[in-house]
Structure 1
Amino acid sequence: MNPCLFIILSFLLLLFPTATASQLITVGEGGDDRNDANMKKCLDKERDALLLFKAPLHDPYDTLSTWTADQHDCCNWSGITCSNQTGHVTKLELFGHGLGGEISHSLLNLTYLNHLHLSGNSFHGTIPTFIGSMTRLRYIDLSDNYHNGTIPRSIGSLTELRHLDLSYNSLYGTIPPEFGNLTNLQVLRLGNVERCRVEKVEWLSHLSHLEVLGMDGISLAKQNHWVDVVLSLCKLSHLSLNGCELSQVMYPYSSFLNSSSSSSSIEFLSLQSNNLTSSMYRWLFPLTSNSLQFLHLSSNMLDGIPKYLGNLCNLKTFYFSDNSAAVKFPDFLNNLSGCTSLSLQYLIAPGSQFTGSLLDDIQRFSSLNCLYLAASHLNGSISEKLWELPILEILDVSYNDLTIPSTIHNSSLSYVNLFDMRSCKVGPQFPKWIKTLKNLTSLDLSNTGISDTAPLDFWAMWPSRLIYMNLSSNNISGMIPDLSSNFAKKSAIDLSSNTFHGPIPNVPSTLLSLNLSRNKLSGGISFICQIVDGLLYFLDLSHNSLSGQLPDCLWHLKQLKVLNLGHNNLFGRLPPSIGSLIELEALYLFKNNLSGELPLSLKNCTSLISLNLGANKFSGTVPVWIGENLSRLYVVILRSNNFFGTIPVQLCQLANLQILDLSMNNLHGTIPSCLGNLTSMVEEGFSQDELYYTIGISENIDETETYVDHAMIEWQGDELEFFGSLRLLKSIDLSSNNLTGQIPYEITNLHDLIALNLSKNALSGEIPEKIGGMKKLLTLDLSRNNFSRRIPSSMSQMTLLNDLDVSFNSLSGRIPSSTQLQSFEASRYDGNTQLCGPPLTKKCPGDEESELLPIIGEIDEVERWFYIGGGMGFATGFWIACGALLLNRRGRHPFFQFCDSFIDWIYVKVVVFISSLQKARQT
């Protein structure tokens, strides 16, 4: 989706001739007006046919609940329309209901059916051939189902057909949901299931009245003459062939190319996702006449456009996004500069490989309303002529390398997105041209190099109009004024990563999202109590200098999904009203001065996925309800608090848990053995819950805020903040407590664990022998405990380990030999007086005798090369000799006599040599 979608959909509704077809059907068959007192009821034969159609179907949403034998008039059933003159069923409309099964032959008894709409369901099997016998049909839509195989040619018999849509029918990637009901199924084979295809396309030419043809996802790979067939459909206005493997058509040119009689009435043409190259333009030409209004060529391999596209005087919408070949944008515009430049309203081409800049040629496109060129490779300055386009409302050139001019004069713009990940040059001064954009509803100037104070009049420019403002990742300073009356309903504000200071001002009570993180804001957060409309679902105030208590008015925020107050100076207890946040998924309070026990009401927040309360002063025992009630948790971080007591075994119920950090508390007792059953750490894979939160901003514009879950984790001795990589981390940290007893051997079942830290406790006993089976461990810290005996030999198998610390224990014996264990610094083994062997300088008993091993190793090397060299020499000499003897019969006998004596001599020499080697090894 893109920010023009709302406008485009309105435009498509004008193009899509469905209403016209429906009106034709209504007039021809008496319509669906059932208010006539003399109207006929449905016929018994047709009611029975519908019940037979229903009988085998899977109906997950009970859509057909009105279809019962005791309700005799089937004309009152959902999805059924009858003629009020004859009572015959004329329409069957059951789209988007998830119905599954095969289409029954009983439909043949609906002899007056002219409208069949079953799209958006789970019908499977081949498209029934009998449909071609239902000759009154004028409208067929079977799209978005699971049909496969060949499209029946019999459809070509439906000469009155106006609308045919068979798009997106395939079993690829999805299994129909009703398959789950086959409880007695013993064998299920779905291999090599082909998507729908067309064997011969000629049958389409019989549909002379066809106006709409949708075959998206249908394979046309073998249809070389489909252009001819399409051109024969003189009434066709809507053609959609997305993802039809058209790139595999070897000779896709038409015999109509040089015919003056060829013409096209197509208004809507979509050919996206076919891997087409620019060679396709020769056969595209006859399809593109002056009637064309919508052209979609996205997701292909086009390296430009031909000049004839500039002569389409009615073209209003042109999609050219995500084409993989490089295109010079000035040439692209030049080829559109005929009469198309006067008609084009929407140019949508994000993600294309455009090069060059927005030059003055853009001024020719006087009807342009939406220009969407995000994430291309445009560079240089934006021409000032762009701002002179009289009706331009939507502009998105984000994620390019463009320089914005110092002045902009365009009062019609309502949406501007100039953000660029490579710092589009707008600053350092705050842009004065903003004042000319009086009609803006959305403004994104994030990461644009502004290092200035925002003028006071800037904040009041769009009273009750803005729905989205993003000034993040700049160096904008000053105080934020009262914002309560500057934004429209359901708006979003992102001022993060700047240097704003002072208190947080009043904000609109209807906010959806507020991000003020990473500034220098101070004071309390009582403004939260003003957000009373319950729409807010993203609030990030982290990394400021906020103080005071968390106010007890959170029952207003029942839609809140993300609450991040970390890295501030908040103090006091968590208020009981925090339990009202029943939709909350991420609670991040890390590094404050919050204290007291966790309120019992927090267990009502059953949607929580990430709970991060570390680096505070919380006390009491670790609540058992965390494991019993908050079953979706994948992150639990309670580190660096004052929790005491034992680790509750209820935490083992958290099947999705990937990160458990209880370090730096006052916990005692043993490590629960059931931690070895944590499903997400035992099995390969990740939590099923989404770890990224996308916050929708408005109803009319597709703008979003994205929150990536993150956490401060102690990693190899350093405190690091993990962002996008948090999903990959599976970690247990119980360090710096008072834990006793042994490491439960069940812990070694955590085969997918990446980090384990049990250091600075009072653990004792042996390190489990099977610990080497935890082969994905990258970091293992067992230091400063009371472990004894040897380091398990299995640890030599931990080839991914890049951080190990077993120092200050009572370990003894030789450090197992492996490249990995010998690569760590000797300090990682310090404090174990009985340990020996590399990398320690202390030798193990018997090491003195082994000093001769290098010499023996050299002898072994000599012996090895002797056998290799001897073998190679023998093979070479053998075949040279054999070749000579094969050609020289007279020399064979003397040669073999010589070989007998020579072999005896070699045998004696080899025995003597091996004997001498064995004596050297013994000494």
Structure 2
Amino acid sequence: MEDHKRKATSVTLFLAMTLISLTNGDINSIQLNDDVLGLIVFKSDLHDPSSHLKSWNEDDASPCSWSYVKCNPKTSRVTELSLSGLGLTGKISRGIQKLQHLKTLSLSNNNLTGSIMSLSNNNNLQKLDLSHNNLSGTLSDDLFTNCSSLTYLSLSHNHLEGQIPSTLFRCSVLNTLNLSSNRFSGNPSFVSVFWKLERLRALDLSFNTLSGTLPLGIHSLHSLKVLQLQGNQFSGPLPSDIGLCPHLNRVDLSFNSFSGEVPVTFQRLKSLNHLDLSKNLLSGGFPVWIGDMTGLVHLDFSQNELTGALPSSIGSLRSLKVIILSGNKFSGEIPESLESCKELESVQLKGNSFVGSIPNGLFNLGLQEIDFSGNGLTGLVPRGSSRLFESLVTLDLSHNSLTGNIPSEVGMFSNLRYLNLSWNKFNTRVPPKIEFLQNLTVLDLRNCELIGLVPADICESQSLQILQLDGNSLTGSIPDGIGNCSSLKLLSLSHNNLTGPIPKSLSKLQDLEILKLEANKLSGEIPKELGGLHNLLLVNISFNRLIGRLPNGEVFQSLDKSALQGNLGICSPLLKGPCRMNVSKPIFIDPNSYGNRNNNEGRHGNRTSSGSSKYHNGMFLSVSVVVAISAVILIFLGVIIVTLLNASVRRKLAFVDNALESIFSGSSKSGRSLVAGKLVMLNSRTSRSSSSSQEFARNPESHLNKASRIGEGVFGAVYKAPLGEQGRNLAVKKLVPSPIIENLEDFDREVRILAKAKHPNLVLIKGYYWTPEMQLLVSEYIPNGNLQSKLHEKEPSTPPLSWDARYRIILGTAKGLAYLHHTCRPTTIHFNLKPSNILLDEKHNPKISDFGLSRLVTQDGNTTSNNRFQNALGYVAPELECQNLRVNEKCDVYGFGVLILELVTGRRPVEYGEDSVVILTDHVRVMLEQGNVLECIDPTMEDEYSEDEVLPVVKLALVCTSQIPSNRPTMAEIVQILQVITSPVPPHRMLDTF
């Protein structure tokens, strides 16, 4: 109430001062207060949760002593207002218009909403920064009618849309313009407006929806140093006159649909140090004249359609540090002249058709990353130099035809973290001294034709988190030393010739999540100690010679047949055949064996009579007796537990009844009144005194019964209840217990944050119900079910999803995730994306559910410490299986990529066959490399889909599921790509090299 009074007072004073300034002849005496009144009015439209603006007092004669305000010392007029990063919400009010002498206005990194008001009456403004807010709407034409002094303008990372006003050219002295990460659209005809800003030094229009062919004229920007147009929908050839901007040092045109060859005029850009043309449709050969661009430090031509061999002139780029040419169609040998680039740190040539051997000289440089995977390279792995031993962090030579020994020098790479030599033809032993790699986290030697034993000291470094040796010819037993891999999360030794028992030392691997031992010759019983590995998500021990009972751990008790079959005698109801046990001999207890041993020996003269006496006079405990005694004890404990639970339930029901007795006796005066046992509706006009709401609030558990149950997930069971307007059903999720939701204030705050997320592709949170014993989350009810039921669990009579419906689901889900990642404040990561969390309306428009719930049921929703959410096997990003990283947006991108593949193929992310496990992402990637990807498409769609749409979508999915998080696009980029695929721009060749 006080805030409303203060706001009303401020607005009144503002209007009064405006009237006085128009009628009073003594203007100067009034102007001294204009800045005070303007700032107070501006403040009245803001919410300042941290009280940063508490020094702003409307009774002060001057604002020059206020926080974040600077004045001209001579005139005492406000010249600078910098409120960046203060967590402010609200709108930019007209009070700013009173600051006639303002030169700098910075409101970036807040949560301001609404449109951008005109500042046309201020001709002194030089810097305007409104970036990283939630501003929306279009820009009016009069916004730039009086910007003759403006030199810096940034409106980036908002939700502005429409065309950019043509009046922008009036900002004639503008040198920095950043409109990136918005929704600006339009064809290239308006782009020529930018070419008129001849003093521009930096132009950033990246990540909008600008389209069409760029017109010539950029050469008029003689002072331009930075040009960033990535992440739009530009097409056609690259503007040739870019090469006529002599001062350019950074050009990024990636993630568009530019085609044709790289213009030869680019060779004139002697000052250019960063050139990124990746993820376009460029064709032709690698520019022979590239050696003329001697200033290049970063060169990225990846994911295009460039062909031919690399020219030797590439060796003239003596300042080059990063070269990325992955995902093209280059052929021939890697030029030895590349060794002349002495400053190189990263060389990425993945997914081309290079042949021949690896130049030895490259391994004498101080490289940090080498990725030559997915080519046709042959010969030996170079031994490397002392310089490389200290610098190399990532080495990926997988999917080639390399031969010979893996050099022992591999053990000397002191900083190596990622080593992948899989899918080669080495026919050698596991390299010695591998234990010396103290920083190694990933070791992938799959399908390398390795022979010999698994080294006993392979885990001496203590840092290894992924160890994959499957698909080789390793023999001998699994060494006990494997238990020293204290950080191991993935252990895969499948498809070898390993013998002997599974070592008990595996029980030391408390971080282990995936254990694959299938297709070996392992024997004996599975150590019961493995049941204590509480982080295990996946185990496969099929096709060995194992016997006996399974350990008691949850994962072992839930294994399906495919993970157990092919053994000699494992005891499981899923398997047919004998259950074999290594049963110990019966236990004999002789009462005479203690204290009378000598007498017994004298009394019985031979071993036979002695043994007979011990059998008849002693006690014999068989296995069946032990089992019977255990059963009696369990039954007794069960009776006690049931009795205690009944008493607990009675206490809970009494508490609920008492707490709910007076909920609806009157309306609350405050929307934030926190009362235990209260049904709080946030996004509904439902009367709180409606009979359905009252009945539910009095006894909620009576409505949460089996008949009303509609689903269950990792966050809890879901029911439907008539709590909506006019008795319409809403979804009620009974949340699993957690320390966060045990506090009403914390729970209320988190739910209200989630309820603010409003998007057509998100399930709307309606309210909640809280008591110490039970927490419910109320959301809109989607009656058409989820994607899981439509895709994997549909009835035979139900028609399959059409391609149009599947594409609508893909695009809508992408838009919903993009909203969570780029619009929500705070940024929300789903972390549990899978088909069962994608609800569908009658037109198959998707609505994402369960977003943000990881914050409600974990101590820290941004870490991977809680295994509850990693049960979505196949959807979890690989980096979360190898190190305890913080969850970020890239994890959702990976899960979204898997979701795309499910929709396109109709298959599950992980499928178990008779003697194999099929990982969907790997399967589709291999099929694409073999040119048979169309065989992966769901046959139930028959021929109703367009290959020009399906193929780019598949390739986008494979990019999203890249093993390296930085290679995955953002959700905003994904939405733009999906929109391009169905746009008039021909998409059939888009993303061909992903």
> How does the TM-score come out when normalised to structure 1?
0.55
Is residue 387 from structure 1 mapped to residue 195 from structure 2 by the alignment? no
Aligned 8 A contact 2:502 2:526 in 1: yes
What RMSD, in angstroms, separates the aligned Cα atoms of the two structures? 3.8
Which position in structure 2 is the counterpart of 1:22?
none
- Which letter does structure 2 place at the counterpart of 1:467? N
Aligned to 1:832: 567
Q: Decide whether the 8 Å contact of 2:441 with 2:463 is kept in 1.
A: yes
Indicate how the Cα distance of structure 1 residues 819 and 832 shifts in structure 2: closer, same or farther if over 3 A, else same: same
Take 1:873 and 1:566, find their aligned partners in 2: how far apart are those partners? 61
Amino acid at match of 2:296: L
Report the secondary structure of 2:426's partner residue: strand
Measured at CA, do residues 513 and 635 of structure 1 come closer, stay the same or move farther in structure 2, by a change above 3 Å? same
- Alpha-carbon distance between aligned partners in 2 of 1:808 and 1:546, rounded to the nearest angstrom: 42
What SS class does the counterpart of residue 283 from structure 2 fall into? Answer: strand
Q: How many residues align?
A: 553
What secondary structure sits across from 1:485 in the alignment? helix
1:142-190 C-alpha deviation (Å, 9 max, x unpaired):
xxxxxxxxxxxxxxxxxxxxxxxxxxxxxxxxxxxxxxxxxxxxxxxxx
1:185-196 to 2 correspondences below 5 Å: none
In structure 1, the partner of 2:231 is 447
- Following TM superposition, by how much is the alpha carbon of 1:386 offset from its aligned partner in structure 2, in angstroms? 1.9
- Per the alignment, residue 125 of structure 2 pairs with 344
* Residue pair 1:440, 1:462 contacting (<8 A) in 2 also: no
Which of 315, 325, 332 is the aligned partner of 1:541? 325
- In structure 2, relative to structure 1, the CA distance for the partners of 1:291 and 1:419 (3 Å cut) is same
8 Å contact from structure 1 (residues 748, 771) kept in 2: yes
Aligned residue for 2:404, secondary structure, equals: strand
Write the letter of the residue equivalent to 2:546. L
Q: Rate the CA distance shift 1:480–1:818 in 2: closer, same or farther, 3 A.
A: same
Which deviates further from its counterpart, 459-468 or 662-671? Answer: 459-468
Question: Is the 1:554–1:580 contact (alpha carbons within 8 Å) kept by the matching residues of 2?
Answer: no
Matching of residues 584-595 of structure 1 within 5 Å = 584-595=367-378
* Correspondent of 1:779 among 504, 510, 514: 514
Query: Distance in 1 between the 2:162 and 2:505 partners?
Result: 61
Q: Which residue is equivalent to 1:735?
A: 470
- C-alpha separation between the residues in 1 aligned to 2:646 and 2:516? 52
Cα deviation 1:683-717 (Å, max 9, x = unaligned) = xxxxxxxxxxxxxxxxxxxxxxxxxxxxxxxxxxx
Q: Which SS does the other structure have where 2:557 is aligned?
A: helix
Per-residue CA shift, 1:613-659, capped at 9, x if unaligned? Answer: 1111222211111212x211001111111223322331211111000
Matched with 2:396 is 612
Question: Contact 2:244 / 2:265 at 8 angstroms: preserved in 1?
Answer: no
Distance in 2 between residues matched to 1:416 and 1:572, nearest whole Å: 43
Q: Tell me, in whole angstroms, the C-alpha distance in 2 between the residues paired with 1:808 and 1:836.
A: 15
Query: What secondary structure is seen at the aligned counterpart in 1 of 2:562?
Result: helix
| 2:376 counterpart letter in structure 1 | N
Aligned to 1:359: 140
Q: CA contact under 8 A between 1:733 and 1:756: conserved in structure 2?
A: yes
SS at match of 2:529: helix
Residues 398-434 of structure 1 show CA distances to partners (whole Å, capped at 9, x for unaligned) of 11122245323224233221112xxx22114445675
Which residue is equivalent to 2:424?
A: 641
User: 1:667 deviation in Å?
Assistant: 2.1
2:723 match: none
Map 1:262-661; keep pairs closer than 5 Å: 271=68, 291-302=77-88, 303-304=90-91, 307=94, 309-324=96-111, 326-331=112-117, 334=118, 336-338=119-121, 341-363=122-144, 364-404=146-186, 406-407=189-190, 408-409=192-193, 410-412=196-198, 413-420=200-207, 424-430=208-214, 440-450=224-234, 452-454=235-237, 458-459=240-241, 462-505=244-287, 506-507=289-290, 508-527=293-312, 529-582=313-366, 584-602=367-385, 604-605=387-388, 606-628=390-412, 630-661=413-444
Do the aligned partners of 1:256 and 1:286 also contact (CA within 8 Å) in 2? Answer: no
CA distance in 1, matches of 2:267, 2:641: 88
- Please state how far the C-alpha of 1:811 moved relative to its aligned partner: 1.0
Contact 1:823 1:839 (8 Å CA) reproduced: no
Q: Distance in 1 between matches of 2:580 and 2:220?
A: 85
1:660-671 equivalent positions in 2, closer than 5 A: 660-671=443-454
User: Which residue identity does 2:110 align to in structure 1?
Assistant: N
Deviation, 1:680, is 1.6
Give the match for residue 748 of structure 1.
483
Deviation digits for residues 217-272 of structure 1 (CA, Å, limit 9, x no counterpart)? xxxxxxxxxxxxxx9xxxxxxxxxxxxx99568963569724xxx695x8xx973x
Q: Distance in 1 between matches of 2:162 and 2:205?
A: 14
SS at match of 2:546: strand
Q: Which has the larger radius of gyration?
A: 1
Residues in 2 aligned to 1:458 and 1:652: alpha-carbon distance in whole angstroms: 53
**Whole-angstrom distance in 2 between the partners of 1:680 and 1:594:** 30
Contact 2:548-2:570 within 8 A present in 1 as well: yes
Q: Distance in 1 between matches of 2:650 and 2:52?
A: 60
- Paired AA for residue 416 in structure 2: L
Q: 1:558 to 1:291 in 2, by over 3 A?
A: farther
Q: Is the 8 A contact 1:404 1:426 kept in 2?
A: yes
Q: Which residue of structure 2 lines up, in the alignment, with residue 20 of structure 1?
A: none
Q: Distance in 2 between matches of 1:355 and 1:543?
A: 37
Q: 1:388 to 1:838 in 2, by over 3 A?
A: farther
Q: 1:671 to 1:305 in 2, by over 3 A?
A: same
- Output the CA distance in 2 between the equivalents of 1:453 and 1:855: 77
Q: For residues 375 and 531 of structure 1, do their structure 2 counterparts lie closer, same or farther at Cα, with a shift above 3 Å needed?
A: farther
**Structure with higher helix content:** 2
Q: 1-side partners of 2:626 and 2:641: how far apart?
A: 23
Q: What is the rounded CA distance, in whole Å, between the counterparts of 2:349 and 2:245 in structure 1?
A: 29
TM-score, length of structure 2 as denominator length: 0.51
Q: Please tell me whether the aligned partners of residues 812 and 833 of structure 1 are also in contact (alpha carbons under 8 angstroms).
A: yes
Cα distance change on mapping 1:401 and 1:870 into 2, 3 Å = closer
CA distance in 1 between partners of 2:206 and 2:569 (Å): 61
User: Structure 1 vs Structure 2: percent identity of aligned residues?
Assistant: 27
Distance in 1 separating the partners of 2:557 and 2:646:
37
Unaligned 5+ segments in structure 1 are 1-230, 232-244, 272-280, 682-729, 876-923
Question: SS of the counterpart of 1:347?
Answer: strand
Give me the whole-angstrom Cα distance separating, in 2, the residues matched to 1:431 and 1:247: 48
The 8 Å contact of residues 290 and 313 in structure 1, kept in 2 or not, is answered as: no
- For 1:319 and 1:484, the matched residues in 2 are separated by 36
1:357 offset after TM fit, Å?
Answer: 2.6
Q: How far off is 1:534 after superposition?
A: 1.6
Shift of 1:545: 1.0
Q: What is the CA distance between 1:787 and its match in structure 2?
A: 0.9
Query: What SS does the aligned partner of 1:673 have?
Result: coil
Partners of 2:647 and 2:97 in 1: CA distance: 77
Distance in 2 between the 1:861 and 1:310 partners? 76
3-state SS of 2:271 partner: strand
Provide the rounded CA distance (Å) in 1 between the counterparts of 2:75 and 2:452: 81
Query: 1:813 and 2:548 equivalent?
Result: yes
- The 2-side partners of 1:532 and 1:731 are apart by 39
Change (3 A) 1:353 1:599: same
| In 2: Cα distance, 1:500 partner to 1:769 partner | 56
In the other structure, the counterpart of 1:214 is none
1:257 to 60, 70, 73: 60
Distance in 2 between the 1:270 and 1:485 partners?
51
CA distance in 1, matches of 2:248, 2:224: 7
| Matching residue's letter, 2:324 | D
Matched AA of 1:657: L
Q: What is the CA distance between 1:348 and its match in structure 2?
A: 2.1
Distance 1:288 1:794, change over 3 A: farther
Q: Secondary structure at the match of 1:465?
A: coil
Are residues 250 and 499 of structure 1, via their aligned partners in 2, closer, same or farther at CA, if it must alter by over 3 Å?
closer
